[in-house]
Structure 1
Amino acid sequence: MLDRLQVERERGITVKAQTCSMIYKDHLLNLIDTPGHVDFSFEVSRSIAACDGVILLVAANQGIQAQTIANFRLSLENDLFILPVINKIDLKGADVHKVESQLSNVFGFKKEEIFHVSAKNGIGVLSVLDAVLEQFPSPSGCRSHPFQCVIFDSWFEEFRGAVACIKVLDGVLRKGQKVMSLQGSKMYEVAEVGVLHPTMVPVGALYAGQVGYVIANMKTTLEAKAGELLYEGTRKLENFKTPSFKSVKPTVYAGIFPVDSIHYESLKHAVDRLYLNDPSVEIEPDVSPLLGMGWRIGFLGILHMELYLIVKFPEQVFGARLNQEHDAEVIFAAPNIQFKAIVKDNKTIREKRYGGKSEINLSDPSKFPDPSDIQQFLEPMIKLKMVVPVNYLGSVCRLCTAARGVKGEVNTIDETQLLVEYRLPLAETIVNFFDHLRQITSGLASFDYELDGYAESDLTKLCILVNGKVVDEFSQILPVSMAKERGKLLVSRLKSEIPRQQYEVVIKATYGNSTKAVAQAKIAPLRKDFTQLLKGNFGGGGMERLKKKLGHQSEGKLRLKAIGNIQIPKEVFINIFKNNF
């Protein structure tokens, strides 16, 4: 019911946290349904700021997942009451007793504290709601105090601007009231307040403890950032409450371009509107010699990127948002992550080439620095936590070791499952790592990860050359240990995707300062059959004329090759990278 996006309904996943207020036994309950995927953990962390307690749902047919553990710890850090609930008890394969043991062993819950429900059939749901009334603490705010609220989510409406989801901490909020933003230092007049049920329902006022929405002529969602505090504009704010919010930064970057340049403006409008609804992305203009004008966009993870970009393939999760919601088709360049480089302690190098910076960020291959200027390259690391069946432990360890991972703690969940930790480079995970993890565990492993600083690395720029010319759209920054295999893969895919030309096409992969190819392939030229024109008449000078025609053809092909007029259809860019995710 709360999954509003088309992709959420199609794939059965939650991408965006949704809020719903409801009346139960003369009590007003505010429910926030949050995503389960690790890329959207920021949705969970900011929603928790509006909560007084959490319902920890565990599926009876799956048991504890890695994200269950992460959300449990996040709830503890925020000092929230936790109500354990086993859901989907009606499903075939449900093992309630096993999951009860897991909840007891891992989190310390007593079996009598755990509720059993089937949301589909309504079994046990009322018992959970009764427990919420009895065990969850009431909101701590006071109506008589000056108004203040915290924003925990927002979205954009074309004619009314930003709509902010708020938790009223103190006081009362009414239409016509003037409010001030703490961080933005802007004054707003409230145009509408209401609750979500789950659609927007205007009300006369929101009181301390309530969750609802406010429309106050905010032009963009940047004015309604999660964590922003609004307070009564006619008073000086004293003793304000500031909930802690986990800051999020992009980890994966990709170039995005319209399929046809005539659609640039419509795509720009679509990107702008989507950005207004998800300010967690970073966007900057980009220009490609082959693909034209576009953007370079930073995402929170691979799934987050897919939700924007992979519009051509419905089996993928949801770049579908640009296609389904804004009717805009796109293609994208190679995904990259953000590395760092420490510039040598040389005043001339730092000031003339790097604007005086001692440390620079690297995500755009076209801006890769001269290695002789760099003292040290750094790559981002992640702490990966996996819930793995015992009999798959060996396969999982081999996969992580091959990805340059370092093994951490291994803890027992029950006799069949383990919690395994690894520290490994983010670069090793952005292609097919998690797909391989699912494959080798028959889809039974779950995972959660968080950024874990940077580590020294030997980085290089992988270049793809077509007839001697570098195609920047295929260039990538990556560790040297990965460059050779990635180069072979790209060359092989390009050979199968680029159509034959009137001349030979040579595809090479190089990296570093070397011009020596680590992978190379040739596409044979098309050849016009002049024997058909001569109708097999090789007498009376026919053979000489054939040789002359073939000679002219060869000269023409050499001229074309020298010009480098390579025709690379835009579909090639889609096909090359679609299997990377």
Structure 2
Amino acid sequence: MLDFTGSVTDREKQDQLLDNMDLERERGITIKSHAIQMEYTYKGEQYILNLIDTPGHVDFSYEVSRSIAACEGALLIVDAAQSIQAQTISNLYLALENDLEIIPVLNKIDLPSANPEEVTDDIVDLLGCDPEDVIPASAKTGLGIEEILEAIIERVPAPKGEPDAPLQALIFDSVYNPFRGVETYFRVLNGEIKKGQKIKFMATDKSYFADEIGTLKLKQQPKTIIKTGDVGYLITGIKDAREVKVGDTVTSTENPCDKPIEGFENVKPMVFAGIYPVDTEDYEELRGAMEKLQLNDASLVFAPESSAALGFGFRCGFLGMLHLEIIQERLEREFDMTVITTVPNVSYHAYTKKNPDEIIIVNNPSDLPDPSKLERVEEPFIKATIITKADFIGPVMSLCIEKRGVITNQTYLTPERVELSFDMPLAEIVFDFYDRLKTVSKGYASFDYSPIGMRPSKLVKVDILINANSVDALSALVHMDNAHTIGKKMCEKLRELIPRQQFDIPIQAAIGAKIISRETIKALRKDVTAKCYGGDISRKRKLLEKQKKGKKRMRQVGNVEIPQQAFMAVLKLND
């Protein structure tokens, strides 16, 4: 579309044009939504089209909901070879809830494995539209692009808004530029914004001057005025990342609007993990890096915490395991911060025998009181809703039951699609639930959840001892029934990842004082008897005894370095 409308010159053309992060190019996924403006002449009239390219993966659904809040219509692009994916369905529901005009597009119809008739029927069933409304297209050959642009102009309504009303603009994204401060991306709903005008951010109630405004082409294009319905960027010279909130309303200081725009729903973090700098002195730098990342990724939530093994760091909330991996990689690449991530978990409530009414909030396994003083532990439960194809009911149900889920409802939406409801512990979906759900359903399962409060549960703390020292960053709170399995798997995984030393390293999993599993990393063998050719056995034995003493002393003073992969590997125990 960018090519067809002439928004991109031949020199600027490249694959995955809008995915401008190296990480996106390498993994072949979109992580950040990206706004761009196109101009197109249709029937002699000049139109301006504002496009936002959004991610599809369920871990970045917050990006999608923010983009949807700023749009009037959506292109529902379905791959003719793969048919409708689960995340497409959940994103479609988001778009329908926001009353967007949906234009269905069947892409990749030039592929030999494409099966356009069947997939068109699927789209018709899903949307309830006519088969003629589905536009067949191929981005590779350029087929159908003109029809898509025409459909956007014909079907998507022009932005509604009062050009003469007080300025009211919605912030849907922002990025940090080290030279110019925070760049805010906004959409004007009412009124207009002029260069140099004094404006106010309603959430923080602070005023600034609009030093530069402009529209988002492939590169930013400065303008003197941006009117109702248009999308643009704003540079005010703000250096502090905390002063800009995504979902905030920008208005004029002299003539403010009455009320802020209804922003987006608050983000629900799924997974909590500790992020620590490798060197404790980098703590303040890490805080700055996290604040700048939060600007660009509003679904990241964090608060300071400290650990005995790792020093000062942050407890962060993520939308899923992929989100956690991406944040870690972005900290490394964009801010040069090498970090250590602890085992992800959720918040629990503990009650002691001494004060049975006092709630102790346990965010970190090391906060759990001593088992002998513990009355009970409660963990957060969720109501999980899974929509999948009828063929995958068996595997999906057995996965949920394995994760301690209890089925509460089962409804057939169509003969092909089923909605399953489960009550299950939030902790069980933290690790690998998403990935395994996608695997057992071949990608055809969408998953959503809402919290339903705390319930008592038999939880124990599994500690990992390396060379007889407990490593608090590897301890985890798990259900009693799974403790032995998880302890055994953790020990096996760590044995593979920790490099061998000059001495034997025992790796143990323990519940309290009881050891439930053990693996040993064998010492690197140095052949001290190599110089003895023949001769009496006592000569060899003397050398071996001497070596044994040295190894024993080494083990008492030896420090075992745990590589970063070991902390991450605990998360992927089932791989």
Contact 1:102 1:413 in 2 (8 A): no
Rounded to whole Å, the distance in 1 between the matches of 2:425 and 2:252 is: 47
Partner of 1:448: 447
Rounded to whole Å, the distance in 1 between the matches of 2:229 and 2:86 is: 31
Partner of 1:177: 197
Q: Which moved more, 1:474-483 or 1:545-554?
A: 545-554
Task: Pick one of 327, 330, 338 that aligns with 2:346.
Answer: 338
Contact 1:6 1:324 in 2 (8 A): no
Q: Which amino acid aligns with 1:494?
A: L
Residues 123-522 of structure 1: pairs in structure 2 closer than 5 A? 123-238=143-258, 240-257=259-276, 270-271=289-290, 273-285=292-304, 294-309=313-328, 319=329, 321-334=330-343, 336-341=344-349, 343=351, 359-370=359-370, 372-373=373-374, 375-381=376-382, 383-388=384-389, 390-407=390-407, 408-411=409-412, 422-441=422-441, 443-456=442-455, 457-501=457-501, 503-511=503-511, 514-522=512-520
Displacement after TM superposition at 1:284 (Å): 4.2
Q: Which amino acid aligns with 1:149?
A: A
| CA distance 1:498–1:111, shift in 2 (3 Å) | closer
3-state SS in 1 of match to 2:159: coil
Contact 1:338 1:380 in 2 (8 A): no
Displacement after TM superposition at 1:146 (Å): 1.4
Partner of 2:563: 570
Q: Which amino acid aligns with 2:341?
A: F
Displacement after TM superposition at 1:172 (Å): 1.2
Rounded to whole Å, the distance in 2 between the matches of 1:451 and 1:488 is: 32
Displacement after TM superposition at 1:440 (Å): 4.2
Contact 1:383 1:424 in 2 (8 A): yes
| CA distance 1:559–1:287, shift in 2 (3 Å) | farther
| CA distance 1:168–1:438, shift in 2 (3 Å) | closer
Displacement after TM superposition at 1:259 (Å): 5.7
Partner of 1:76: 96
Q: Which moved more, 1:514-523 or 1:428-437?
A: 428-437
Rounded to whole Å, the distance in 2 between the matches of 1:185 and 1:263 is: 32
Rounded to whole Å, the distance in 2 between the matches of 1:203 and 1:360 is: 55
Q: Which amino acid aligns with 2:513?
A: T
| CA distance 1:529–1:122, shift in 2 (3 Å) | closer
Q: Which moved more, 1:8-17 or 1:85-94?
A: 85-94
- Offset from partner CA, 1:419-438 (integer Å, 9 cap, x none): 65555434333434444444
Displacement after TM superposition at 1:51 (Å): 1.2
Partner of 1:13: 29
Displacement after TM superposition at 1:73 (Å): 2.0
Q: Which amino acid aligns with 1:7?
A: L
Rounded to whole Å, the distance in 1 between the matches of 2:230 and 2:196 is: 19
Rounded to whole Å, the distance in 1 between the matches of 2:27 and 2:229 is: 34
Contact 1:105 1:414 in 2 (8 A): no
- Offset from partner CA, 1:486-533 (integer Å, 9 cap, x none): 10011112233444555543322122xx42222123345567655456
Contact 2:529 2:544 in 1 (8 A): no
- Offset from partner CA, 1:322-354 (integer Å, 9 cap, x none): 3443444444332x22222154697x677xxxx
Count of aligned positions: 551
Displacement after TM superposition at 1:186 (Å): 0.4
Task: Pick one of 29, 36, 40 that aligns with 1:24.
Answer: 40
| CA distance 1:496–1:51, shift in 2 (3 Å) | closer
Displacement after TM superposition at 1:61 (Å): 1.9
Q: Which moved more, 1:249-258 or 1:78-87?
A: 249-258
Contact 2:342 2:568 in 1 (8 A): no
Contact 2:175 2:295 in 1 (8 A): yes
Displacement after TM superposition at 1:551 (Å): 5.2
| CA distance 1:359–1:291, shift in 2 (3 Å) | closer
Q: Which amino acid aligns with 1:461?
A: K
Rounded to whole Å, the distance in 1 between the matches of 2:563 and 2:396 is: 37
3-state SS in 2 of match to 1:463: strand
Residues 27-66 of structure 1: pairs in structure 2 closer than 5 A? 27-66=47-86
Contact 2:166 2:256 in 1 (8 A): no
| CA distance 1:22–1:235, shift in 2 (3 Å) | same
- Offset from partner CA, 1:103-146 (integer Å, 9 cap, x none): 33233223233322223322222222222222222222111111
Partner of 2:131: 111
Displacement after TM superposition at 1:571 (Å): 5.4
The gaps in structure 1 that reach 5 residues or longer are 310-318, 351-357
| CA distance 1:113–1:576, shift in 2 (3 Å) | closer
| CA distance 1:159–1:280, shift in 2 (3 Å) | same
Displacement after TM superposition at 1:276 (Å): 4.1
Rounded to whole Å, the distance in 2 between the matches of 1:359 and 1:264 is: 30
3-state SS in 1 of match to 2:166: coil
Q: Which amino acid aligns with 2:519?
A: A
Q: Which amino acid aligns with 2:398?
A: R
Please report the TM-score for the alignment, with normalisation by the length of structure 2. Answer: 0.85
Displacement after TM superposition at 1:81 (Å): 2.3
Partner of 1:353: none
Q: Which amino acid aligns with 1:568?
A: E
- Offset from partner CA, 1:170-189 (integer Å, 9 cap, x none): 11101110111111010111
| CA distance 1:497–1:36, shift in 2 (3 Å) | closer
Contact 2:309 2:472 in 1 (8 A): no
